[in-house]
Amino acid sequence: MKLLFLGLTPSRVFQSTVISHGFSCVVSKTIPTMNRSRKFEMIVCAVDRKSDLKKLKIIDKRFPQSWVSVVIEKKRLDEPEFYSALIENEFKNTVWLSDTWESLFWFSYQQMLESRNNASKVKILEKEVFQFRVKTMALSEASNKLLDKFNRDVDLVENIQRVLRPRFSPHIPGINLSVKYIPASGGGGDYYDIFEFGDKKRFGILLADSKSHGMAAALLTVLLKLRPEEMKDRFPDSKSFITFLNQEIKTVHDKIGSSISLFYGILDRASLTFQYTAAGSLKPIWWRGGRSKLVPSSQNPEVGGRDHFEFRENTLQLQPGDLMILYTNGVEAPLKKKKMLCEERILELLKKREPSPEPLDVQNELMGVIDEYTAKKKLKDDLTLIHLAVDERAMYVAKAEGD
């Protein structure tokens, strides 16, 4: 370690002591120029008058990394002008008195070491903070790109759904059908479709409820490969279609790590049979003669959840006056009433209109409750309601066609 004594000469005893501890000493009357061989860790500078304080600024400029200690005579402290200038001077670390500075040197030396150690820690922390900020900025930029991509994907899925989703409920002789769909911004992706088979007697009803747009996109990717005219021969029953969707989504979109609730039913208007396969939580409400009918539970997993699963299907024999209501999970929040579940709330509304409620009237009443909810809160999930009612004369028409 190099020491510079500027404007004062330390005692021989002091010099011998510091040299024995590995210090090298330079005594000078003037401020030396800065070069590679002259890097002083500590500078002890004598200040006798106010004008000498200007030297400290020069020292700081030439040796910015040095620890600067000022030595003054005690009588100078009684001079207000000098004392004030000394206190206000920022180019110093310590102030010593001329008669005691040699004994105080070692205290200042320890203080300097601690200061340098702290400064080193500060630099390390500043470097870590800088690196953290760089990483944070990179993560922020990456997250913004992902968010932009997600929003574009969401928009794409919503646009595709809008194009594929039927604009009007198809006319089915003997069947009254009404559908209501309300999208939730940024939420999960509902999808429905109602299409006529090539034999003109059967109709397919598809309803899907996904918690993510990723799974909705996966379903649409598969559906885009199909054509309605293929459904009759390729998938003669609901189970074969659900099994196909499950395998396709599981194989192609396994990385999504999610699944989708899906209901697919085939209505035969000639026989009034309704064959369906329910995968996941979607289950219809069946209403007949002023009371609800038991809908068999298939206990099938969601589509995309399990590989090579043997899905179970059920068949309902509908009658004139029957009403079926299909709905997705988005209906639950608006229809929740205290401890009453969504299904219980729908049944409560149906009982008010027994024995044969009109599907459009039921839908309007349900939508009134939903509109009241959405006026105060935003939907967190897409909402889809499908009402299917068998006309009172449908049975007679069916019998006449079969004769």
pLDDT at 359: 66
Reported as a pLDDT band with limits 50, 70 and 90, residue 402 is very low
pLDDT higher than 80, residue 403:
no
Nearest to 157 by CA among 283, 253, 243, 244: 253
Residue 165 confidence (pLDDT):
59
What is the C-alpha to C-alpha distance for residues 300 and 309, in angstroms, rounded to an integer? 9
Closest listed residue to residue 386, CA positions, set 264, 240, 298, 221: 264
Q: Is the pLDDT of residue 401 over 50?
A: no
The predicted structure's pLDDT at residue 129: 83
Residue 318 above 90 pLDDT? yes
Written as six digits, the tokens of 286 are 């069946």
**67-81, 312-326, 387-401: the lowest-pLDDT one:** 387-401
Q: What is the largest CA-CA distance in the chain?
A: 132
Whether the model clears a pTM of 0.75, i.e. scores above it, the answer is no
Q: Which residue, 203, 194, 196, 197, is CA-closest to 165?
A: 194
Residue 352 confidence (pLDDT): 78
The residues near 277 (Cβ < 8 Å, ≥ 6 apart) are 238, 239, 241, 242, 263, 264, 265, 298, 300, 311, 312, 313, 314
Q: How sure is the predictor about 92, in pLDDT bands with cuts at 50, 70 and 90?
A: confident
Superfamily name with CATH number, domain 2-120 = Response regulator (3.40.50.2300)
DSSP string, 67-135: EEEEEE-GGGGG-HHHHHHHHH--S-SEEEETTTHHHHHHHHHHHHHHHHHHHHHHHHHHHHHHHHHHH
The CA distance from 274 to 268, in Å, is 6
Predicted local distance difference test score (pLDDT) of residue 303: 87
- pLDDT at site 272: 92
- Which residue(s) pair with 27 in the sheet? 5
Instruction: Give per-residue pLDDT as tens, 213-249.
Output: 666 666 766 676 666 556 666 888 999 999 988 888 7
Q: How confident is the model at residue 313 (pLDDT cuts 50, 70, 90)?
A: very high
Contact 69, 3 (CB under 8 A): no
Span 166-402 CATH architecture: 4-Layer Sandwich (3.60)
> Bridge partners of 69?
44, 94
Helices then strands, counting H and E runs in the chain, come out as 11, 15
pLDDT over threshold 90, residue 314:
yes
Q: What is the C-alpha to C-alpha distance for residues 267 and 177, in angstroms, rounded to an integer? A: 12
67 pLDDT band (50/70/90 cuts)? Answer: confident
Instruction: For residue 82, report the phi and psi dihedrals to the nearest 5 degrees.
Output: -65, -45
Which stretch, 58-67, 86-95, 150-159, 169-178, has highest mean pLDDT? Answer: 58-67
Q: Average pLDDT, stretch 184-188? A: 63
Quote the percentage of the chain above a pLDDT of 90: 14
Query: Quick one: DSSP state of residue 201?
Result: S
Average pLDDT over residues 340-350: 85
Quick check: 64 and 43 in contact, CB under 8 A?
A: no
Same fold, 2-120 and 166-402: no
CA-to-CA distance for 182 and 189, rounded, in angstroms? 11
Other Cβ atoms less than 10 A from the Cβ of 213: the count is 22
CA distance 359 to 115: 82
Which of the residue ranges 150-154, 234-238, 273-277, 291-295 has the most confident prediction, judged by mean pLDDT? 273-277
Out of 22-26, 33-37, 75-79, 329-333, pick the least confident: 33-37
Rounded Cα gap, residues 176 and 170, in angstroms: 10
Instruction: Give the residue, 150 or 5, on which the prediction is more confident.
Output: 5
Report how far residue 28's alpha carbon sits from residue 12's, in angstroms, rounded to the nearest whole number.
16
From the list 318, 204, 238, the residue with the least C-alpha distance to 272 is 318
Phi, psi for residue 105 in degrees, rounded to 5: -55, -45
pLDDT value for 305: 77
pLDDT at position 267: 93
- Residue 208 near residue 216 (C-beta atoms within 8 A): yes
Report the pLDDT value the prediction gives residue 185, as an integer from 0 to 100.
Answer: 67
Average pLDDT estimate for 319-330: 90
User: Coil, strand, or helix at residue 267?
Assistant: strand
Buried b (16+ CB within 10 A) or exposed e, 150-173: eeeebeebbebbeeeeeeeeeebe
Cβ atoms of 383 and 181 closer than 8 Å:
yes
Domain boundaries, the chain: 2-120, 166-402
